[in-house]
Structure 1
Amino acid sequence: MASASASKKMREEVTCSICLNLMAEPVSISCGHSYCQACLLDFMGPSLSSPRYQQNTYSSSRYQQNTYSPRSQQDTQTFSCPQCGTPFQRDSLRPNRQLGSLIAALRQQKLEQLEREQQQQLELSCQEHGERLHLFCEDEGQLICWRCEREGRHKGHNTALMEDVSPGYREKLQEAVRKLRQLEEECTNQKAFTAKQMAQWKEKVEAQRQKIQAEFQNLRSFLREEERSYLWRLESEEQRTLQRLRDSEADLGQQSRKLQSHIRELEERCQGSAQKLLQDVKGALSRSQAVRLETPEALVLEIETECEVPELYFDLRKHLRSHQVGVTLDPETAHPELILSQDQRQVTRGPQREAALSPQRFMASPCILGRQSFASGRRYFEVDVGEGTGWDVGVCLESVQRLGGTTQRPETGFWALRLCAQDGYVALTWPRTPLRLQERPLLVGVLLDCEVGLVSFYSGTSGSHMFTFPRASFPDVLRPYLQVYPYSPLFLPSLDE
């Protein structure tokens, strides 16, 4: 419908308002309107019968002869535009080639349309009889002429006028179109649903990819720390055994020198005179017979440091918890603002209470220690930090300063991680080490290796590695260490939990 309206508007634009036909050799005047050249020249020609055109004394032939002549008085005559009445002069006429090309295209379009209509008329004629196809054969579904119905192979078939059956078939076709459009709409919906599924599937795959990468990254980090731990443990075992072997070697060297001294003494007696040989001979024999070889302690050269890598690989959390120990809190070390549960596994920050001043109690910071102390082996414990907004979790030396303020760092005897509103997750090194954790740990695991001198931290939920302090030497026993922040209680799960 929009195309027909546009075509109609276009034809109106190229129609001469004088003859009301498509313009022939269109020319434009100064106001912008265009007309057929012949129509405009006739309009400008002499007309004595009308006072309106009494100034138009130039004929068409005269105009054609003087189109390119020097400007004359006749060229300066003024006429009025037939449409808008705007004055114009004869010499303002200009051929409108663009409009001429458009009119030629419209004429060609009209010609092609007539040819199509003629072709349609031919198609609507019976090829056998040349008669107009105005009947419809219901039996064979074909348009036929009256002679086909009476003389041809359609004789006796069920036929009807084309105009009578076309509404029914139009409804059937419209119904078919409606069903096809429903199918098309369903297909479009299925396509959109499939595209949505593709996007969801890609999101799931990407999430799984990131999960796999994170887990393998955690595994690699854990295995690196375990490798370092086992290698340092093996190195320590190597040095201990080598030192015992060096001690045995030195002792045997000393005994060898004593034996050589006795041998030289006896050989000198044998080679000397009878007098020298017999002088204190019994004492010499007694001394030589008293010599005994002190055999060093027999060492079993079997390596004690064993590492089952497949076990580490398949279950990191199981491996960590194989070293787990139960930890409870020591109320004698609790800062006056800390409140302990009855089972001494949960601690909360509250209002300050009166507490006996003791060198065991933290007075400067709201800290508390675990009852258990660690001096050897590997020990692992977990602290449930939950959704708390702040906490310190780790270990410290038994001998740390408790009455006055001190900066928590390895040099002062603290190995811990911290969460605080200002810095987020940090390791209490000096300077502090920011931690970029992929998940928020609700359960913090602390792995202490007293033999090697390592303190490592893991997420107790996923087993992912969080941080390992540089290797250290512990001059004193270590105890679990917690600092409690407001509205952030800490809980020590039992081994059963």
Structure 2
Amino acid sequence: MSAASCLLTEDQFLCSICLDVFTDPVATPCGHNFCKTCITEHWNINVLCRCPNCKEVFNTRPDLKVNTFISEMTAQFRRLAEQESSSSSSGSQQQVSKPGEVSCDVCTGTKLKALKSCLVCLASYCETHLEPHLTKSGLRRHQLIDPVENLESRMCPKHDKLLELFCKTDQMCVCMLCTITNHKTHTFVPLEEESVGKKVELGKRKAEMQQMIQNRRLKIEEIKRSVELSQEDADRKIADGVQLFSTLKKSVERRQVELIDSIREKQRKLEKQAEGFIKELEQEICELKKRSSEVEQLSQSEDHLHLLQRFLSVNATPPTRNWTGVSICPVSYEATVMRAVNQLKESLTKGMQKVLEVELRRLQRYAVDVTLDPDTAHRKLILSDDGKQVSHGDVWMNLPNNPERFDTCVCVLAKKSFSSGRFYYEVQVKGKTKWDLGVARESISRTGQITVSPQYGYWTICMRSNNEYYALTDPSVHLWLNSRPEKVGVFVDYEEGLVSFYDVDAAAPIYSFTGCRFAHKLKPYFCPRLNSGGKNSAPLIISRSYT
């Protein structure tokens, strides 16, 4: 404002309350000038009529009159300032406040974007109206911050004072008066000090959240990798399936061709035999026709001597076969067809056997190390030192009482439990006449008689006398097996709700529980049954290797 300041200084025309050029200037009895509206509102808010500058108290509110001289001088100053502002407006870089931005509280008309907010004045200023805070010695002591909305929220609602302290007792921001009133015995620190501590906590929290983000990113990669592995496995399965069915298709087609060729070959032999018979019969017909013609001619001859001389040769029957027992029987193809069917069945069986062998090898990839838990074993069960074998004895073992031990049924559980994923293990049952195998809920009751069925937390199969096998469902399912298993494989897919049993040596499925809903931890379950006077004394043996 060089044009204005050549006659008057800017400070002389600024109201110390609104920090803007006077509007309707009035003078207090102490001689200080203010905008009439500013000083009136100031006195309306405060109980005492006190000069904001010198703090002089007036017992009665002064009757303020507009000072016409100062008003005219202010108007002149304003005009000069507006001319200067107009002449330099083309070079101004100030921006108009946009939605969401803090605007200048002093601007009239178009609101400009605020550059700073004053915690003392509780107002925000654009570049032009911020200048007094940068140049006036009294205003320089005010605390400026980046522009913020709602500066009133930084004032104590009870005492109308700036929130400068932090009450550590109540974990809240307070003003100076709060320290001697509501929070008198509490512990306080400056806002800046508490803010530094909170920033440290925020830093830790940020690091924790960054770690959580990293963990989740790793989990995403893990899930993606699982999907990729599943896709690779699916592709392999598809390729194996296509190859298998292509082989089976070729085998079927080959057997079909062989069957057709065999039937046609038999038909050709039949036709050839028939052709031979027909040719021979036609030759005999020709000979008979010739002889018949000769007989006809001789019978009509008047030459008695010729007739008698030819009679014996013509009257004799020509050499012919006795066709009474000769016939062509249609060929029976049933044996040929059955032989072809049996060969096809054999091929399919071999193909399916290969598939089952591959499938069993795939399941063996999920093999886990299973060890028996002695704390769950019935007192008459004998466990090997390595926890891999169990058999039934006749002597009660001196074992400590605990709620995990089966007290009536001769059963034992494995140490390790499973609550997700897939797992597989194999148990040798060779030499036994009775046994139970499978998985059970970890939470099953170990006291008294137990009911072995999925309803009570058991998914098992068993062998009974006379080589009878059952799936212990409710009711039990009788299993018809082609061979007597010597080693049984158990596979569990927790999420899929699947428990499957296999004859390992024959690579043949025995039985599968499907659609199970597992909501608890599962443990491998073993029951060697009573030894029956030594007839069933062989142990159940958990395999160590699966190759």
Normalised-by-shorter TM-score class = 0.3 to 0.5
TM-score, with length taken from structure 1: 0.40
Relative contact order (C-alpha < 8 Å, sep 6+): which is higher? Answer: 1
